[in-house]
Amino acid sequence: MSIDRALFDQVMVPNYAPSAVIPVRGEGARLWDQQGREYIDFAGGIAVNCLGHRHPALVDALKQQADKLWHLSNVYTNEPALRLAAKITADTFAERVYFCNSGAEANEAALKLARRYAVDHFGAQKDQIIAFDKAFHGRTFFTVTAGGQPAYSDGFGPKPGAIDHVPYNDLEALEAAMSERTCAVLLEPLQGEGGLIEPVPGFIAGVRALCDKYQALMVLDEVQTGVGRTGALYAYMHHDITPDILSSAKGLGGGFPVAAMLTTAKVADSFKVGTHGSTYGGNPLACAVAEAVWDEVNQVPLLQGVLTRGQRFRQHLEDINAEHGLFEEVRGAGLLLGAALKPAYHGRARDVLAAAVEQGVMCLVAGPNVVRFAPSLIIAEDDIDTGMHRFGQAVAKVVAG
């Protein structure tokens, strides 16, 4: 059997359109494909491989746990899950943790909990969830409806109700939509899929204040911004606020599927026994790896290094843009960055991505007009420099037509 891109079209559901490149091995910030060609990875599995590929601490944690215990039902708990939850609650606002497998599942749990909390404390009439235009919260029907991109939720029949959207960074629009019926406001502290849209000063704190005013829960989607990605353990820590519920995934497992919903004891109490669950949530293998990730990431030198590496990326992008004039601005925080294309190049972000792969560097897009970067948090400076040199060559080819 020939294992190549053509096989995908024969055996896989066609909801993806993957590259012809099939990576087979990784080390740090570098990948190699079936032909042995090397790539520098500025994509990180969309902000997932936060410590790069095959980090020794993660490999060791997985191997040790694999020799002990792989899976239990939630009729039982397990040591890796308890250790990880203890560390999360010690290092964040959270007092309680719920484990699951993906960002969508963490957001699904967050929205269900917000609704159940409102029913318990105020009554069934308090059911409105407000989210933001251009948001992305996952692909379950509840979370994709909460995401502010109708193209992802249209065409599947009647959508879950009592979900409204307002423009990001617009506190006046948010307050106009809120009332005593509002049970939760769901937002990303930095919009990822929507184009790396940064919150304006005071916006996050303003959302917190409005949630307090209307007795609504503030739900932060930190699936992409969490676990060190912005230079803090979680992005809410930059804003001097405390959310009521927070979703975490992607980087939490460093490449192993795991997610968590973080919340307070008071809010968590509305998830009584049997109200929600996950067969694989709290899996010992996943939690053992995630604990190793947590121990590595939650260190001041690493988090400070995210900021300095982010500045190095920005400088390279500015230098490339000074030569080629492709970008309108560079957005984002830490090592979650987006280079927004000038209007003359709108719709060509994927062209840039394809050209980059040809030059031996992997990046991402965030919509049709933004090239996104989410590399390893510990990527070597030499890898940044080499990868950005290759990226510059890709930009030159796109500009040259």
Sequential DSSP letters for 4-25: SHHHHHHHS-TT----S--EEE
386 is annotated as contributing to ligand binding: no
- Does 222 belong to an annotated binding site? yes
Decide if 118 contacts 183 (C-beta within 8 A).
yes
User: CB-hemisphere CA count at 13 Å for 110?
Assistant: 36
3-state SS, one letter per residue, for 83-108: HHHHHHHHHCCCCEEEEECCHHHHHH
396, exposed or middle or buried, with CB in 10 Å at 0-12, 13-18, 19+? Answer: middle
**Is 208 labelled a binding residue?**
no
Question: What is the C-alpha to C-alpha distance for residues 110 and 101, in angstroms, rounded to an integer?
Answer: 14
Tell me if 382 is assigned to a ligand binding site.
no
Three-state SS for 81?
helix
Provide the strand spans (E) within 180-310. 182-187, 217-221, 245-248, 259-263
To the question of whether residue 328 is assigned a binding role by annotation, the answer is: no
- DSSP state letter for 150: H
Whether 175 has a binding-site annotation, put simply, is no
- Give Cβ neighbours of residue 40 (< 8 Å, ≥ 6 apart): 29, 30, 360, 361, 362, 383, 386, 387, 390
Distances (CA, A) of 111 to 20, 141, 214, 221, 246: 37, 12, 17, 11, 10
Q: What angle do CA 384, 387, 391 make, to 5 degrees?
A: 125
278 annotated ligand binder:
yes
CA–CA separation, 9 and 372 (whole Å): 27
- Rounded distance between C-alpha atoms, residue 187 and residue 132, angstroms: 7
Residue 208: CB atoms within 10 Å: 20
221 annotated to bind ligand:
yes
The b-or-e profile of 312-345 (16+ CB within 10 A means b, else e) is: bbbebbeebbeeeebbbebbbbbbbbbbbbeeeb
Active site residues: 136, 221, 250
103 and 260 in contact (C-beta within 8 Å)? no
Q: How many CB atoms lie under 10 A from the CB of residue 181?
A: 14
Strand pairing report for 38-41 and 361-362? parallel
Q: Do you know the residue count of the chain?
A: 401
Contact 219, 132 (CB under 8 A): no
Instruction: Mark the binding-site residues, compressed into ranges.
Output: 103-104, 136, 139, 221-224, 278-279
Instruction: Mark the binding-site residues for pyridoxal 5'-phosphate, compressed into ranges.
Output: 103-104, 136, 221-224, 279
Instruction: Mark the binding-site residues for N(2)-acetyl-L-ornithine, compressed into ranges.
Output: 139, 278
